[in-house]
Amino acid sequence: MPLIEARSLSKIYMLGKTEVHALNAVNLTVEKGEFMAIAGPSGSGKTTLLNILGCIEKPTEGSVLFDGKNVAQLSGNQLADFRLNHIGFIFQTFNLIPVLTAIENVEFPLLKMPLSKRERRTRAQEALESVGLGGLAHRKPDELSGGQRQRVAIARALVGRPNIVLADEPTANLDHATGLAVLELMSDLNSRLGTVFVFSTHDPKVMSMARRVISLVDGKIVEETTVP
């Protein structure tokens, strides 16, 4: 069974009285173990698709099956729990909490889980070590480089041991070399832990690291390439 099966997704936003068709009948299957990219020009629907796959937004039409289960049937609270336990998010602007240290940022999603303080600390420290930042646990975000901040965000996305991490342009605010290093880390975590990564990008070099690329134009999938 695939991890995610998105069927005939459409999303219409209302902008005043104008309908904006952000996604048009998109079908997408994400298999377990995948490392895939969503490419496409600005406004093509990449963020909308990631947000729907991540159960942050609801489609206007169509459905998302996660491990065979239709997420539309979950209540608000069930959905929040479901996201907490199954999905990690990484954002282009890192979205770390400035007053918290790296380890406190990573620990943050675990506060909603039934874990002891000690278990939370241990898991957060392990997640930081898995991204090579074990020694910088007590630095605050403004004491870290952009690449290090994004690594903290990756650790935070992974700490709940999700099945999938969705990353919306994770390299957009990093210089080219740092962006590639962050992608290499994600690829390595995908191989080691089996966590699925789906990331959006404009950058052809970043795209070329994915094992499957789908291209969106005007809310439709126009091309799909798989690295053999």
Ligand X SMILES: Nc1ncnc2c1ncn2[C@@H]1O[C@H](COP(=O)(O)OP(=O)(O)OP(=O)(O)O)[C@@H](O)[C@H]1O
Q: What does the alpha-carbon distance between residue 205 and residue 210 come to, in Å, rounded to a whole number?
A: 10
Q: Is 109 in the site for ligand X (CB under 6 A)?
A: no
Sole binder of ligand X in the list 4, 22, 39, 207 (CB under 6 A): 22
Contacts with ligand X: how many residues (CB under 6 A)? Answer: 12
Q: Pull the structure tokens for residue 199.
A: 């990331």
37-56 binders of ligand X (CB under 6 A): 40, 42-48
Distance in Å, CB of 165 to ligand X, minimum: 17
Distance in Å, CB of 200 to ligand X, minimum: 6
Q: Is 215 in the site for ligand X (CB under 6 A)?
A: no
Burial (CB < 10 A; 0-12, 13-18, 19+), residue 82, is middle
Q: What does the alpha-carbon distance between residue 46 and residue 51 come to, in Å, rounded to a whole number?
A: 9
Distance in Å, CB of 218 to ligand X, minimum: 9
Sole binder of ligand X in the list 20, 80, 99, 227 (CB under 6 A): 20
In the bound state with ligand X, the residue whose beta carbon lies nearer, of 52 and 124, is 52
Would you say 103 and 125 are in contact if contact means Cβ atoms under 8 Å apart? yes
Q: Pull the structure tokens for residue 141.
A: 């975000």
Q: Is 201 in the site for ligand X (CB under 6 A)?
A: no
Distance in Å, CB of 86 to ligand X, minimum: 22
Measured CA distances, 190 to 14, 53, 118 (Å):
37, 18, 27
Q: What does the alpha-carbon distance between residue 64 and residue 214 come to, in Å, rounded to a whole number?
A: 17
- Could you list the residues that contact ligand X (CB under 6 A)? 13, 15, 20, 22, 40, 42-48
